[in-house]
Amino acid sequence: MTTPRNHEEPATALHWRDSKRYLWLFGLVAPSAAMLATALVWAFNQLGWQVVAPVWWWLGPILVYVLLPTLDRFFGPDGTNPPEEVMARLEHDRYYRYCTYAYIPLQLFSLVFACYLWTADNLSWLGIDGGLGLASKIGLAFTIGAMGGVGINTAHELGHKKDELERWLSKITLAQTFYGHFYIEHNRGHHVRVATPEDPASARFGESFWSFLPRSVWGSLKSAWELEATRLRRLDKSPFSPHNDVLNAWSMSVVLWVALVAVFGPAILPFLVIQAVYGFSLLETVNYLEHYGLLRSRTASGRYERCTPEHSWNSDHIVTNIFLYHLQRHSDHHANPTRRYQILRHMDGAPELPSGYASLIGLAYLTPLWRKVMDHRVLAHYNGDITRVNIQPSKRAKILAEYGAI
């Protein structure tokens, strides 16, 4: 039986304090990255380091692929859970909600600021002659995309809650990346079908990220539409009605993008597309590693067994946990979807990734290395029984033969 890890003594519960309470504010680094990049470019130009300064427009990818993995390695796992006695108090402490709410105005401001930088022809105040070069504009698009990708995770946290305001804030956060259908598919699709072949967001054993990406993107979009259409038909309403949450979410993206183009001109469109694609691809990379190869067995009735902690890959590396609002404590999230991030628990016995999510995002792009690191962990999780694994259908016969199962 998988149980939560807890190193706190019961006697200390009354005096327990959340050591990560103010560390959650570091989650606001992502929506501030464009401003941080601008400050660093200005500083480097002031120091006469103009050749190096444009590198900072790529701060988002630097943060994702270099800084976070390095910090994860340095600081390592967290290793603590809040005592049961303080869970209710933590759950209702509104400070933690405000940490996620603050993401949204910073996100929107950064997006508008980036549109200005993409179109400005005089950035002398930054020490730049004329406007940004193409490489700098693309780097800024990737930095804004990284913000959008982390923003989808913020929307994930808000979208699971019962509070109507938080659900609408979730849709607003998704508008930047044009991924509003995630709000429907994740809650009502993925959480129902997780770790089964029917779930587009659960990666299969032997499936490369590059095969998974289009399958998950298209499958999630299709599933979200079908879920909403079915819901509305039960209410005797057309899927093409204002009550369709997929259309509502997409309309927010349309309004946002049209407004930005109206103010800054069509020249920003290529960069809006780049940031959106990169943003939702980051989400899909995380989807890829969260359930890779894991499979829920069928019961005697033919139904899938209940989702348990054994059906999600976890990591307790503290830096990425802070950055992604405990998303890496994924087993507890699937067990308790409405539970707020500050009280999600690490569970001993749940399958563990070798490092934090941030460290594995880049690895997922390199299929041979990914499989070398992860395939034996999947097999070990099932005691070497390849028949219990969620296998890529096109490779099923080959893989079963390779492992002597046929």
Q: Examine residue 13 and state whether it is found in any structural domain, yes or no.
A: no
Q: How many residues does the chain have?
A: 406
Question: What CA–CA distance (Å, rounded) separates 150 from 30?
Answer: 7
Amino acid (1-letter code) at residue 268: I
Q: What is the mean pLDDT of residues 190-206?
A: 95
Question: What CA–CA distance (Å, rounded) separates 356 from 321?
Answer: 8
| 208: containing domain | 23-79+96-216+244-375
**pLDDT number for residue 23:** 94
pLDDT band (50, 70, 90) for residue 316: very high
CB 219 within 8 A of CB 311: no
Buried b (16+ CB within 10 A) or exposed e, 126-164: bbbeeebeeebbbbbbbbbbbbbbbbbbbbbbbbbbeee
Q: Examine residue 405 and state whether it is found in any structural domain, yes or no.
A: no
pTM for the model stands at 0.93
Please spell the DSSP secondary structure of 100-148, one letter per residue: HHTHHHHHHHHHHHHHHHHH-S--GGGT-SSS--HHHHHHHHHHHHHHH
398 DSSP β-pair partners: none
Q: Examine residue 4 and state whether it is found in any structural domain, yes or no.
A: no
Q: Examine residue 231 and state whether it is found in any structural domain, yes or no.
A: no
Average pLDDT of the residues of the chain: 93
Q: Examine residue 11 and state whether it is found in any structural domain, yes or no.
A: no
Q: Examine residue 140 and state whether it is found in any structural domain, yes or no.
A: yes
Q: Examine residue 386 and state whether it is found in any structural domain, yes or no.
A: no
Biggest alpha carbon distance in the chain? 71
7 vs 244 pLDDT, higher one: 244
pLDDT in tens, 94-112: 999 999 999 999 999 999 9
pLDDT in tens, 143-196: 999 999 999 999 999 999 888 899 999 999 999 999 999 999 999 999 999 999
Q: Examine residue 392 and state whether it is found in any structural domain, yes or no.
A: no
**pLDDT number for residue 313:** 96
214 vs 396 pLDDT, higher one: 214
Q: Which two tokens stand for residue 128?
A: 């730049």
Nearest to 374 by CA among 392, 355, 402, 388: 355
Nearest to 190 by CA among 262, 296, 96: 296
Q: How many domains does the chain have?
A: 1
